[in-house]
């Protein structure tokens, strides 16, 4: 039993597969957007904490230029295979450009 | 001008400490149905593209970033045209109709634009909204969230209060900080405390977004709530986010298995000065569409920290219920406010609470201040630790599960001690500034941080900084707990981590309940929209408060056995009272006292503890002082006071009689009067004294002599009935038990008045 405990404690991170399973369950129960969120999350499990914080910061209003935010998206897709999340960030970039939410230079 | 004393008194009432203001739509000071709110509309590009090209009166080119997000991430385009074509009144009626399942309403709601959602609830009264909320709430079992903070950021007190809150039944505990850098330690203390009170309680620390994520990743919190969204682009940006950044943050939390909910609420945009002249509810509907679109499983809404603003306006409380309802319609978990100070008036705040309390929400409060409001660092405390007993009584009164349970002092002290000692051990092991035994002892019994010794805040902050930056995390906390003899708390923390790897609690409206409380190794079971879906469909369906949970709520520590109420009114039968035989009508000028069937035997004291013997002596003395003779009889055929008086007068030679119940209620009756009429009635038995009883005897004697009589003055105490009604009922019941088919009996009272 102690062994069990130690094993859970060693790594308390959820796996991408588990997140995708939860996404399927959410989708089936009628929570499509939650499911999409969990699919994005599944792509982010291996992204280090500091990296996540940097991406979040880049997405905040007035933080990035368009090129910088697109570079963030590209890096996420390239380094972690996070295609959905990258597309989501690209979509944000398009809207930020239209609504002037980028850092002015 | 003439001054009314009544108006002067009204001006002093708590309700008149509030601010009331007339609506001013252009400043956003209007709760709903604003003149500048758009009318609902939606145009889609024809198939196969099916893209929104117009929504609520704006073309796509005119969209701000919130509109774009709603159009592209919220609206279910497969149902939007049908939903928008369905009359709003019809959808409003579906919300109330118990024959329409929640799923059918939700399917349409997910195709409604923000303006359409507002148009639907516009048709509804608060009663209808409550019906709708009872049906649309996603989790079947209602729950509650606590605030645990203190002004001095004392770790032992945080842990003890969190433990008590968990024991009292809160499913979630939220803490925050006075000084932002303290967050890692406060989160740690509330985590350890909560898992001491009840394993499975979710905990969070409200703090700046990046810090919040770091705390969750260290395992110090198990959910996050303060992901705030706003209903105009300007206020969203002022809040330093966009719908996309918030949605990304939600994914980042989920990637570590951590539950989140967003926060929104009416009034925030007006408060931030950028309402665009729209009503609070319309802007909140936009928020909720963004919350759902971003993939948050739920929302904290119900105006939250802005509550005083809608409450200053006409219809404000109704609008706040409407925003809870819209959130539930969209399938979002709702933590429904009732947190920030909303009113000075106990009547007003309680009335407002009923709108969420009666239908039930996923979290009726977000949160309930489990500490005194002076220690609440959220500006919260609309209901606080001093209202716990009131709240428990409300649950018991209405047979409603408000998420709390009555607790015993001894069990509270035990978990508070355990939690404070546990966090003391963790601090020692992790090299944080010492928590002294004196602090532990103070925390066990403390009501507020005023009861705590001072700490070195500078040293605590330095430790908090090191903890945040260093490699230590919740695993070190678990090891410390194991090493120092807190295996159960360690096991609960471990189970919380295991649950993170499973992710079941990422589903909507998830809370943990303990699987098998008797098992030494805890496992938590998730109640969520998936495992505990709300199936309310009218009477006999949905969540019903019954069984063990109802027993738990009924068992107030203050509740006493009915037998306790009359035990002290039963004594040894009077030795000097002898029953002689059937009573005979009198022929002399006398006063008859007719007592009830339990008098002096089954019961020996009145309701306020006057011995029956002394009462008789007083009455007899009064009669004797007027030079009259008293005779005593006992009725067996009735326990009713009027009947006793009637019987007394009918046996009395003078026609004057006194009826006297065992509890002390008395009447003076005259033969020939109707049974329910009387000369004098003394119905306030608790206020009768021996002097009054002597006066009653005197007056009865004066009536018998045909003298003019001034009625005996009696004290009127309307609270006495409230205080004593149970005792009154039980004493009367006991007297009625003695009723027999037997004529009145002559009694000999072996005592002579010394007159």
* Cα torsion through B678, B684, B689, B690, rounded to 10: 30
Residues A28 and A6 in one domain: yes
Report the distance separating Cα B584 and Cα B571, nearest Å.
Answer: 29
Question: Which residues 12-71 of chain A have a CB within 8 Å of chain B?
Answer: 12-15, 18-19, 21-22, 25-26, 29-38, 40-45, 47, 49, 52-53, 55-57, 59-62
Cβ count within 10 A of residue A5: 20
- Beta strand B58-59 pairing with B202-205: unpaired
- Chain segment A80-96, per-residue pLDDT in tens: 999 999 999 999 999 99
Residue B646 tokens, joined: 């009637």
- State what percent of residues in chain B have pLDDT above 90: 92
Residues A85 and A34 in one domain: no
Q: Give just the sign of the alpha carbon dihedral B96, B100, B106, B109.
A: negative
Cβ(B586)–Cβ(B754) under 8 Å?
no
Instruction: pLDDT band for A9, please (50, 70, 90 cuts).
Output: low
CATH code: domain of residue A99: 1.10.1510.20
Shortest distance between the Cα of A67 and any Cα of chain B, in A, equals 17
Are B494 and A8 a contacting pair at CB < 8 A?
Answer: yes
pLDDT given at position A5: 47
Q: Which of B594, B551, B579 is nearest to B700 (CA)?
A: B594
Residues A41 and A74 in one domain: no
- Chain segment B321-359, per-residue pLDDT in tens: 999 999 999 999 999 999 999 999 999 999 999 999 999
Q: Is the peptide bond before B48 cis (omega within 30 degrees of 0)?
A: yes
Residues A30 and A77 in one domain: no
Residue B619 tokens, joined: 């009455």
Whether the complex's predicted ipTM surpasses the cut of 0.85? yes
pLDDT given at position B502: 95
Residues A40 and A72 in one domain: no
User: Is B703's pLDDT higher than 60?
Assistant: yes
| Interface probe with B: pick from A54, A60, A64, A100, most Cβ of B within 10 Å | A60
pLDDT (average), residues B574-601:
95
Residues A39 and A53 in one domain: no
Report the distance separating Cα B255 and Cα A40, nearest Å.
Answer: 8
By three-state DSSP, how is residue B703 classified? Answer: helix
pLDDT (average), residues B292-307:
95
Residues A60 and A23 in one domain: no
Range of the domain at A26: 1-45
- CATH match for B566-749 among 3.40.50.10190, 3.40.50.720, 2.60.40.1120, 3.40.50.10150: 3.40.50.10150
Q: Which residues of chain A neighbour B217 with C-beta distances below 8 Å?
A: 49
By three-state DSSP, how is residue B679 classified? Answer: coil
What residue spans define the domains of chain B?
566-749
Residue B228 tokens, joined: 């705030």
- Chain segment A25-81, per-residue pLDDT in tens: 999 999 999 999 999 999 999 999 999 999 999 999 999 999 999 999 999 999 999
Q: Is the peptide bond before A66 cis (omega within 30 degrees of 0)?
A: no
Number of domains comprising chain A: 2
Residues A62 and A84 in one domain: yes
Residues A17 and A55 in one domain: no
User: Is A3's pLDDT higher than 70?
Assistant: no
Q: Which of B650, B655, B619 is nearest to B637 (CA)?
A: B650
When CB atoms are compared, the residue of A38, A56, A62 closest to B248 is A56
Residues A70 and A55 in one domain: yes
- Chain segment B5-41, per-residue pLDDT in tens: 999 999 999 999 999 999 999 999 999 999 999 999 9
Residues A61 and A20 in one domain: no
Least confident of B103-107, B278-282, B441-445, B568-572: B568-572
Residue listed under structure tokens 């008789």: B616
Which residue would you say has higher pLDDT here, B485 or B752?
B485
Instruction: pLDDT band for A4, please (50, 70, 90 cuts).
Output: very low
- Chain segment B350-399, per-residue pLDDT in tens: 999 999 999 999 999 999 999 999 999 998 889 999 999 999 999 999 99
Distances (CA, A) of B275 to A95, B31, B272, B434: 21, 11, 8, 49
In B16-142, the DSSP E strands lie at 42-44, 52-55, 58-59
Residues A53 and A101 in one domain: yes
DSSP B509: T
Residue listed under structure tokens 């500034």: B433
pLDDT (average), residues B717-742:
93
pLDDT given at position B487: 96
pLDDT given at position A10: 59
Give the HSE-up count for residue B286: Cα atoms under 13 Å, Cβ half-sphere: 30
When CB atoms are compared, the residue of A10, A41, A96 closest to B251 is A41
Report the distance separating Cα B203 and Cα B355, nearest Å.
Answer: 26
Report the distance separating Cα B531 and Cα B122, nearest Å.
Answer: 33
């Amino acid at each position: 039993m102690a062994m069990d405990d130690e094993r859970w404690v060693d790594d308390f991170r959820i796996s991408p597969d588990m997140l995708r399973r939860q996404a399927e369950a959410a989708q089936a129960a009628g929570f499509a957007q939650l499911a999409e969120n969990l699919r994005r999350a599944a792509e982010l499990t291996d992204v280090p904490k500091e990296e996540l914080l940097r991406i979040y910061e880049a997405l905040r209003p007035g933080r990035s230029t368009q090129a910088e935010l697109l570079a963030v998206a590209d890096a996420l897709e390239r380094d972690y295979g996070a295609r959905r999340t990258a597309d989501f960030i690209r979509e944000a970039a398009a809207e930020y450009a239209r609504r002037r939410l980028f850092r002015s230079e | 001008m003439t001054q009314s004393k009544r108006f002067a008194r009204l001006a002093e009432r708590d309700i008149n400490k509030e601010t009331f203001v007339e609506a001013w739509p252009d400043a956003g000071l209007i709760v709903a149905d604003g003149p500048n709110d758009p009318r609902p509309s939606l145009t889609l590009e024809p198939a196969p593209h099916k893209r929104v090209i117009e929504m609520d009166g704006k073309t796509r080119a005119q969209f701000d970033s919130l509109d774009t997000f709603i159009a592209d991430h919220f609206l279910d385009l497969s149902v939007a045209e049908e939903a928008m074509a369905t009359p709003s009144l019809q959808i409003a009626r579906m919300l109330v109709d118990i024959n329409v399942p929640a799923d059918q309403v939700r399917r349409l709601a997910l195709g409604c634009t923000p303006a359409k959602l507002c148009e639907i609830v516009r048709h509804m009264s608060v009663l209808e909204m409550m019906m709708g909320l009872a049906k649309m709430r996603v989790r079947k079992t209602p729950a509650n969230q606590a605030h645990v903070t203190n002004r001095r950021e004392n770790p032992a007190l945080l842990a003890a209060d969190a433990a008590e809150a968990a024991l009292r039944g809160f499913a979630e505990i939220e803490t925050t900080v006075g000084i932002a850098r303290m967050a890692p330690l406060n989160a740690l203390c509330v985590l350890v405390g909560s898992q001491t009170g009840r394993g499975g309680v979710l905990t969070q620390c409200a703090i700046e977004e990046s810090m919040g994520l770091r705390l969750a990743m260290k395992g110090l919190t198990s959910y996050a709530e303060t992901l705030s969204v706003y209903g105009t682009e300007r206020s969203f940006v002022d809040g330093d986010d966009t719908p996309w950044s918030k949605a990304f943050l939600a994914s980042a939390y989920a990637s570590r298995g951590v539950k989140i909910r967003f926060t929104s609420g009416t009034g925030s945009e007006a408060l931030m000065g950028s309402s665009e002249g729209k009503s609070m509810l319309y802007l909140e509907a936009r928020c909720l569409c963004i919350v759902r679109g971003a993939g948050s499983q739920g929302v904290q809404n119900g105006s939250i920290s802005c509550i005083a603003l809608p409450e200053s306006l006409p219809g404000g409380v109704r609008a706040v219920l409407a925003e809870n309802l819209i959130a539930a319609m969209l399938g979002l978990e709702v933590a429904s406010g009732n947190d920030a100070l909303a009113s000075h008036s106990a009547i007003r705040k309680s009335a407002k609470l009923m709108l969420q309390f009666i239908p039930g929400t996923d979290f009726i409060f977000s949160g309930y201040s489990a500490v005194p409001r002076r220690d609440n660092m959220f500006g919260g405390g609309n209901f606080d630790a001093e209202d716990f007993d009131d709240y428990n009584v409300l649950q018991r009164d209405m047979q409603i599960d408000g998420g709390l349970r009555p607790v015993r002092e001894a069990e509270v002290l035990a978990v508070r001690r355990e939690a404070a000692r546990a966090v003391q051990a963790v601090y020692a092991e992790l090299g944080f500034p010492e928590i002294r035994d004196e602090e532990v002892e103070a925390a066990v019994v403390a009501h507020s941080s005023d009861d705590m010794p001072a700490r070195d805040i500078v040293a605590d902050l330095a430790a908090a900084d090191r903890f945040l930056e260093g490699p230590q995390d919740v695993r070190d906390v678990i090891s410390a707990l194991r090493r120092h003899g807190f295996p159960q708390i360690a096991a609960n923390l471990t189970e919380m981590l295991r649950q993170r790897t499973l992710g079941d609690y990422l589903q909507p409206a998830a809370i943990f309940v303990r699987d098998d409380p008797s098992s030494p190794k805890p496992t938590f079971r998730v109640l969520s929209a998936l495992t505990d879906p709300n199936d309310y469909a009218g009477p006999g369906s949905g969540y019903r408060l019954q069984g063990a949970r109802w027993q738990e709520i009924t068992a107030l520590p203050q509740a006493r056995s009915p037998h306790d109420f009359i035990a002290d009114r039963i004594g040894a039968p009077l030795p000097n009272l002898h029953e002689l035989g059937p009573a005979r009508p009198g022929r002399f000028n006398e006063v008859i006292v007719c007592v009830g069937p339990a008098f002096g035997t089954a019961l020996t004291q009145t309701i306020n503890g006057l011995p029956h013997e002394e009462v008789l002596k007083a009455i007899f003395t009064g009669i004797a002082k007027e030079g009259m003779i008293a005779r005593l009889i006992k009725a067996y055929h009735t326990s009713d006071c009027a009947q006793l008086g009637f019987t007394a007068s009918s046996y009395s030679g003078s026609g004057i009689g006194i009826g006297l119940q065992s509890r002390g209620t008395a009447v003076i009756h005259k033969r020939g009067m109707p049974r329910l009429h009387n000369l004098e009635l003394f119905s306030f038995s608790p206020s009768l004294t021996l002097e009054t009883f002597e006066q009653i005897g005197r007056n009865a004697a004066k009536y018998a002599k045909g003298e003019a009589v001034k009625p005996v003055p009696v004290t009127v105490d309307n609270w006495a009935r409230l205080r004593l009604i149970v005792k009154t009922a039980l004493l009367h019941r006991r007297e009625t038990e003695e009723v027999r088919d037997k004529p009145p009996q002559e009694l000999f009272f072996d005592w002579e008045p010394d007159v």
